[in-house]
Structure 1
Amino acid sequence: MSGQLEGRVALVSGASRGIGYHLAKQLAAQGAHVVAVARTVGGLEELDDEIQKAGSSATLVPLDLTDGPGVDRLGAALHERWGKLDVLVVNAGALGTLSPIGHIEAKTFERTMAINVTSAWRLIRAVDPLLRASDAGRAILLSSGAAHSCKAYWGLYAATKAALEALGRSWAAETQNLPLRVNSVNPGGTRTAMRALAMPGEDPNTLPTPSDVASRILPLAYPSCTETGRLFDVRQNRFMTYHMPD
């Protein structure tokens, strides 16, 4: 199979459903070998079937990303097998609860932070040397407009996505003189299970499908992508400029 990512290795977290599932399929369709990470084995197996039908290949990694030592072992396994990583997609995430900040239970706060922030940092730490070893490493962090709108009752989710973007921007600054490019993505409203949970009265048919959204994100994985430390807005199909103080 030939494509923009022929011969490259791409890791996608949260690959068993939604945007992660479809982005993994599209990365494979462009020739990448996909390392698909998720907790749901059934979803991973379905993804593997789809990727094989398209003539590409995948490595399935059933893993709860809050298992820190497990993430470290994944990084070591990638190093042993390939010695590099070309694409990282940090997609796994949890909504937590939509609630007044003072009503959020400690265990819910800690679990959501663990999934959306701590596990992302642990994954970045595990594969950073591998992305640096690539001639065109690309990291894509799935954020949310919630990180900027900070609406009432969205405090927990908004805080986790703001933290993820901050990690990405700092990482991009640290690696700006390397081939590695690091960008965050605001996918906007998408027809996913998480969106349905957050907006139960919304008509899903008014939203783009995960496949459509994934196709907009895909070019950020290509070696031709030169932007770094930016936020890509899928709805506007362009990179946004962060406000930088004088």
Structure 2
Amino acid sequence: MSSEKPLSGRVAVVTGATRGIGFATALALGRAGAHVVATGRTQGGLEELDDAIKADGGSTTLAPFDLTDFDAIDRLGGALYERFGKLDILVGNAGVLGPLSPLGHVDPKDWDRAIAVNLTANWRLIRSLDPLLRASDAGRVVFLTSGAAHNDRAYWGPYAVTKAGLEALARSYAAETINHTPVRVNLVNPGPLATAMRARAMPGEDQATLRKPADLAPKILELCRPEWTETARLYDFPSDTLKSFRGPE
């Protein structure tokens, strides 16, 4: 393994890879030598990523589908097993903001989609990919969370609930894999970044004042390296601190 390509020979799945944090992270993983399996709903966005990674000498597999297509997630696991027999890295980045609305006014279909994309899809990814991550010599899992999971902010109910649920999911998976497996599970809180989701949530904000997804990507990359052995941690990008999320025994 060369210092220039520290992830050479490793296979990484990145969800929501067509733009923002997912795009920047997939690009960083590709530059580090990983074969990137990129999922997203937009074929054009995936093709743009493919071009960018290949321009740096990397390789990709494009998997265009909506994460609410849970059968597609199962098929992804089967395809990865047949082709690689393992998975080294999973970055669960894809998410939706959902409606910013009083809870009593949230349309049930919007609630269901937020739950499906932000929470259920990540469980389905674990369900499908866990055997492949255990087959790696150093399976690394990173889920993208939000400060909204802990902030009591009005009108952010669907997003906050799903991110809090995602954190509980990550805690459970970390506890299940901490002993006698090569899998390490961590969370990343990006904080305010210049993304399309942030622009929808904060329409009056000047995004020129915010850090970019490309600033965060190297930090996520570190958590994906085989040398990274911490698990059950939350990396908070705004404060550049690593926190334990393991609760009392």
Normalization by structure 2: what TM-score? 0.96
- Partner amino acid for 2:163? K
Q: Is the 8 A contact 2:232 2:244 kept in 1?
A: no
Task: Provide the residue aligned with 1:198 in structure 2.
Answer: 201
Q: 1:84-112 CA distances to partner (integer Å, 9 max, x unpaired)?
A: 00000000100001111111111110011
- Report what 2:33 is aligned to: 31
Select which of 168, 180, 183 maps to 1:180.
183
RMSD across aligned C-alpha pairs, in angstroms?
1.2
**C-alpha distance in 2, partners of 1:241/1:85?**
25
| SS of equivalent to 1:97 | coil
Tell me if the contact between 2:13 and 2:38 (Cα under 8 Å) persists in the aligned partners. Answer: yes
Q: 1:228 aligns with which of 226, 231, 236?
A: 231
* Alignment correspondent of 1:149: 151
Q: SS state of the match for residue 156, structure 1?
A: helix
Q: What does residue 13 of structure 1 align with?
A: 15
The correspondence for 1:40, drawn from 39, 42, 57, is 42
List alignment gaps of at least 5 residues for structure 1: none
2:192 corresponds to which residue? Answer: 189
Match of 1:207 in 2: 210
Q: Could you say which residue in structure 2 is the equivalent of 1:102? A: 104
Contact 1:217 1:234 in 2 (8 A): no
Q: How many residues align?
A: 246
How far has the Cα of 1:243 moved from its partner? 6.9
- Specify the alignment match of 1:61 in structure 2: 63
Deviation at 1:216, TM superposition (A): 1.9
Contact residue 93 and residue 115 of structure 1 kept, 8 A: yes
The partner residue of 1:162 within 161, 164, 168 is 164
The question of whether the paired residues in 2 share the 8 Å contact of 1:172 and 1:181 is answered with yes
Q: CA deviation at 1:245?
A: 3.6
Query: Please, which runs of 5 or more residues in structure 2 have no aligned partner?
Result: none
DSSP-derived class of the 2:150 partner? helix
CA contact 1:181–1:227 (8 Å) conserved in 2 = yes
Counterpart in 1 of 2:127? 125
Tell me how far apart the structure 1 counterparts of residues 244 and 23 of structure 2 sit (CA, whole Å).
28
The one-letter code of the counterpart of 1:208 is R
Contact 1:216 1:237 in 2 (8 A): no
Partner Cα separation in structure 2 for residue 41 and residue 200 of structure 1: 27
CA distance in 1, matches of 2:37, 2:149: 28
8 A contact 2:232–2:246 mirrored in 1: no
In 2, Cα distance between equivalents of 1:66 and 1:244: 30
1:153-182 Cα offsets, whole Å, 9 max, x none, are: 111100000101111110000000111100
> TM-score with structure 1 length normalisation?
0.97
- Structure 1 position 244, deviation (Å): 2.5
SS at match of 1:194: helix
Residue 74 of structure 1 is aligned with which of 73, 76, 84? 76
In 2, the alpha carbon distance for the partners of 1:171 and 1:124 equals: 8
Q: Is the 8 A contact 1:18 1:192 kept in 2?
A: yes
